[in-house]
Amino acid sequence: MSPKQEQSFPEQLNQYRTAIEEALDNALALTPCRYQTVIEAMRYSLLGAGKRIRAVLVLEFARIFGVMPEHAMPVACAIEMIHAYSLIHDDLPCMDDDAFRRGKPSCHVQFGEAAALLAGDGLLTCAFETAGQAAQNLPSERVLAAMEKMAQCAGYRGMIGGQVIDLESEGKSISPQALEEMYRLKTGALLEASCSCGCLLAGKQEMVVTAENYAKDLGLAFQIVDDILDITGDQALLGKPVGSDAEKHKSTFVSLYGLDQARKTAEYYTKRAMETLQKLPLPDEFLMQLTDMLLNRLQ
């Protein structure tokens, strides 16, 4: 399942994504039971959509340091589950109140608010159950370290903290420093977990800081591109309405600096991320090409 050097970047990425999708499907099988509705809602939001960038980063950072991607797959799936749960909750009426996600009705629109709330809770808890399965092939202390990192980055000091800042900033003009902190937490923290977990599963604790530095810059660039696409993007490609940031009076890099400066800032953080990658023993150009693709994406 490891990408081969003779493959093109799109082929390598597609190979990863196909394997991830299959693993997610198997990890959350639909079984007949009285609580089947919540499983359906979980699978609805988890499967068949998404760029799988976080899972790819787990597998690729693990591969760099000699861990077979299939051995790191449980942790990669776990982070995708955490990401999917966060999107379900983010779309709820009490949060961002978004009716569409990934080109289809949001989970709460399709299944109702109560089922969506429970589906998010179910994915979060299932994530840690799934991650623990990595101990079948890797030392348990490495898996435990990765799970601890996941919890930190997904929790109140990470992604949730960023969501709180986001909610409390709606309709307000916030400083560039506050906006950057929000992005580092809400978007960057889970990317940080993805890269760090690959190192931790390989027992490469000494490489975690480098992985984190890469992820922090990648996360900022990623979110700034999201800001740009909310203005310039194609709704059909994005799978969600454009212009929602302005409608909700959210501060973004575009609202603070304008489109041109936002693009330059995304390019700046992408360049920094690529410079950090040069400190890693990369076996090929896959991560470099992935980083560039995320800058120039249309969705």
17 lies in some domain: yes
Residue 171: the pLDDT is 82
Residue 97: the pLDDT is 87
Residue 281: the pLDDT is 94
- Phi-psi category of residue 49: left, alpha or beta, with phi > 0 → left and psi -120 to 50 → alpha: beta
Residues (pLDDT < 50) of the chain are none
Q: How many domains does the chain have?
A: 1
297 lies in some domain: no
Residue 48: the pLDDT is 81
Taking the C-alpha atoms of residue 145 and residue 232, their distance in angstroms, rounded to an integer, is 40
106 lies in some domain: yes
| 224-282 pLDDT tens trace | 999 999 888 666 555 556 656 666 667 889 989 999 999 999 999 999 999 999 999 99
295 lies in some domain: no
Taking the C-alpha atoms of residue 72 and residue 81, their distance in angstroms, rounded to an integer, is 15
Its domain, for residue 282, covers 9-289
60 lies in some domain: yes
| 223-237 pLDDT tens trace | 999 999 988 866 655
Taking the C-alpha atoms of residue 283 and residue 289, their distance in angstroms, rounded to an integer, is 13
3-state percent breakdown (helix, strand, coil) of the chain, nearest 5: 70, 0, 25
CB 73 within 8 A of CB 140: no
Residue 50: the pLDDT is 83
- Phi-psi category of residue 101: left, alpha or beta, with phi > 0 → left and psi -120 to 50 → alpha: beta
Give the domain CATH number at 118.
1.10.600.10
Indicate the pTM of the whole model: 0.93
Name the CA radius of gyration of the chain, rounded. 18
Beta bridge partners of 100: 105
Residue 233: the pLDDT is 63
299 lies in some domain: no
142 three-state secondary structure: helix
**CA distance readout (Å), 250 to 239, 253, 284:** 20, 10, 39
174 lies in some domain: yes
263 lies in some domain: yes
Tokens of residue 262, six digits:
């936002």
**CA distance readout (Å), 243 to 66, 88, 151, 217, 265:** 43, 20, 32, 25, 20
